[in-house]
């Protein structure tokens, strides 16, 4: 796993199933608390050391990136473009089965705000950080279909703990929040799957009004998010009780007047 010192990586390390043997990659000079797992220091720009780090690995969970949406090209190019290429090349060289690539909602944030985005909709980045994630998704598909390295790109929404979401000021995340528990579940399902060659799935919680459609994650991986923004933030009503506006909501059917009494 790359990006082991980040918020997502730290949570995954602490909550991954015990059956996983993890090799945690950090940048040179970074430190982790005492870990029962193997830790390696590698820069994403060092292809040879990346190859060594991938040796004997089944699946690479690639989380490391420059993650600021306001980042300039000179900031995203080394890690998000060159580094992602190096990581995939190293995984191919080492014979890894799969790469799970941490993409982002920013790869599609340029779509109109009133549109829910499906996993098969065209990419439409809203910033240069999103552009770099589009590159990673395209590279993942190339590696899967042309180079034989299975790849799943996970478009991650607003990753924050539940207590952070309880602040009424955070209501802007109501359509994009993903809880640490739900994202970890999705990553585990991506790692465990043995059938997918390539897929893009969306990493958000069960927010009812979701910017990213969860259909592919549910259907391909059996993803079943446990958390929802409206259950954490008091400023949001319980949207699980939305009506269908159909007869199932209790409206009497006008058909009954013409059909008459039904046989018992």
pLDDT in tens, 197-249: 999 999 999 987 889 999 999 999 999 999 887 777 666 666 555 555 555 55
Does residue 205 lie in a domain region?
Answer: yes
Q: Tell me the pLDDT of the chain averaged across its residues.
A: 90
Using pLDDT thresholds of 50, 70 and 90, give the confidence band for residue 122: very high
Counting Cα atoms < 13 Å in the Cβ hemisphere of 114 gives 0
Q: How far apart are CA 112 and CA 228, in angstroms?
A: 23
- pTM attached to this predicted model: 0.88
Residue 133: is its pLDDT beyond 80?
yes
Does residue 264 lie in a domain region?
Answer: no
Q: What is the DSSP string of 184-243?
A: HHHHHHHHH-SS-SEEEEEE----SS-SB--HHHHHHH-------HHHH-TTS--GGG--
Does residue 254 lie in a domain region?
Answer: yes
Q: Give the CA distances from residue 202 to residues 34, 109, 217, in Å, rounded to whole numbers and listed in that order.
A: 32, 13, 6
pLDDT for res 10 = 95
Residue 161: is its pLDDT beyond 90?
no
Residue 14: is its pLDDT beyond 90?
yes
Q: Of the given ranges (99-108, 155-164, 178-187), which has the lowest mean pLDDT? A: 155-164
Of residues 252 and 107, the one with the higher pLDDT is 107
The structure tokens listed for 158 are 């607003």
Starting at the edge strand found earlier in the chain, the sheet holding 98-104 runs 59-62, 98-104, 150-156, 198-203
DSSP state, residue 116: P
Per the structure, the complete domain to which residue 137 belongs is given by: 7-259
Number of domains in the chain: 1
Of the chain, the percentage scoring pLDDT greater than 70 comes to: 90
Does residue 2 lie in a domain region?
Answer: no
Report CA dihedral (80, 84, 86, 90) to the nearest 10 degrees.
Answer: 150
Does residue 1 lie in a domain region?
Answer: no
Does residue 66 lie in a domain region?
Answer: yes
Q: Of the given ranges (32-36, 75-79, 205-209, 229-233), which has the lowest mean pLDDT? A: 229-233
Mean pLDDT of 68-96: 97
- The per-residue pLDDT for range 39-70, each reduced to its tens digit, is 999 999 999 999 999 999 999 999 999 989 99
Of residues 175 and 179, the one with the higher pLDDT is 179
pLDDT for res 248 = 59
For 195, other C-beta atoms within 10 Å of its C-beta total: 8
Does residue 245 lie in a domain region?
Answer: yes
Q: Of the given ranges (51-55, 92-96, 172-176, 180-184), which has the lowest mean pLDDT? A: 172-176
Using pLDDT thresholds of 50, 70 and 90, give the confidence band for residue 89: very high
Using pLDDT thresholds of 50, 70 and 90, give the confidence band for residue 169: confident
Q: The CATH number of the domain where 88 resides is what? A: 3.40.50.720
């Amino acid at each position: 796993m790359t990006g082991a010192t980040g918020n997502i990586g730290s949570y995954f390390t602490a909550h991954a199933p015990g059956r996983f043997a993890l090799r945690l990659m950090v940048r040179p000079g970074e430190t982790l608390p005492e870990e029962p797992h193997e830790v390696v220091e590698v820069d994403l720009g060092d292809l040879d050391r990346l190859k060594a780090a991938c040796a004997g690995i089944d699946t690479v969970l690639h989380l490391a990136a420059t993650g600021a949406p306001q980042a300039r090209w000179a900031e995203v190019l080394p890690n998000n473009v060159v580094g992602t290429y190096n990581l995939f090349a190293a995984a191919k060289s080492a014979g890894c089965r799969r790469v799970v690539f941490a993409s982002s909602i920013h790869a599609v944030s340029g779509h109109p705000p009133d549109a829910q985005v499906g996993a098969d909709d065209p990419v439409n980045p809203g910033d240069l950080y999103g552009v770099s994630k589009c590159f990673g998704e395209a590279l993942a598909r190339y590696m899967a279909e042309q180079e034989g390295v299975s790849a799943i790109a996970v478009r991650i929404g607003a990753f924050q703990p539940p207590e952070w979401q309880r602040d009424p000021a955070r209501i802007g995340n109501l359509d994009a929040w993903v809880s640490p528990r739900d994202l970890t579940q999705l990553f585990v399902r991506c790692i465990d799957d043995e059938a997918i060659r390539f897929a893009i799935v969306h990493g958000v919680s069960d927010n009812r009004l979701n910017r990213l459609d969860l259909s592919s994650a549910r259907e391909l991986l059996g993803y079943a998010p446990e958390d929802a923004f409206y259950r954490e933030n008091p400023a949001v009503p319980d949207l699980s009780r939305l009506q269908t506006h159909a007869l199932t909501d209790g409206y009497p059917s006008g058909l009954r007047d013409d059909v008459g009494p039904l046989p018992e």
